[in-house]
Amino acid sequence: MFNLKDNSKVRNKISGDIGEISVQNYLKKKGYKILETNYKNYFGEIDIVASLKNVIVFVEVKARKNANFGRPVEAVNAYKQNKIRTVAEIYLQRKNKFFNDVRFDVIEVLDDNINHIENAF
């Protein structure tokens, strides 16, 4: 039986995946090296882990077709930020990587336009 609710979840997942792929391509063109995508641990997930020179950048990607329910970046609230920080800390411990600096960016994809917010939090 066809379930519209499930179909909506599938469409959102596909839309998010397309947004993440376009962001990866955007970052590569800007000189970033993609280290991981969809990194998961017990505490949560980080969409993209990248590096630029000697800076590790943890990237949260938010994609929406329109701003009817607010801008995508607005969905990265204090709770989500803390969760990303915790996942990032575990990532750095497990990978035993050294970087001079750590940065948290949010990249919103709104109607196929990319807005890169460096040092978002």
Q: Which class in CATH covers the domain with range 4-117? A: alpha beta
Interacting residues of 69 by C-beta distance below 8 A, sequence separation 6+: none
Query: Which residue type does 5 have?
Result: K
Query: Which residue type does 57 have?
Result: V
For residue 121, the 8-state DSSP code is: -
pLDDT at 10: 56
Q: Give me the tens of pLDDT residue by residue for the chain, a chain 121 residues long.
A: 455 555 655 555 555 566 788 999 999 999 999 999 999 999 999 999 999 998 999 999 998 888 888 888 999 999 999 999 999 999 999 987 777 799 999 999 988 899 999 999 9
- pTM, 2 dp: 0.84
Q: Could you state, in order of their start, the residue ranges of all structural domains in the chain? A: 4-117
The C-alpha atoms of residue 28 and residue 118 are separated, in whole angstroms, by 15
Return the closest-CA partner of residue 50 out of 102, 112, 5: 102
- Alpha helices, H only, 30-77: none
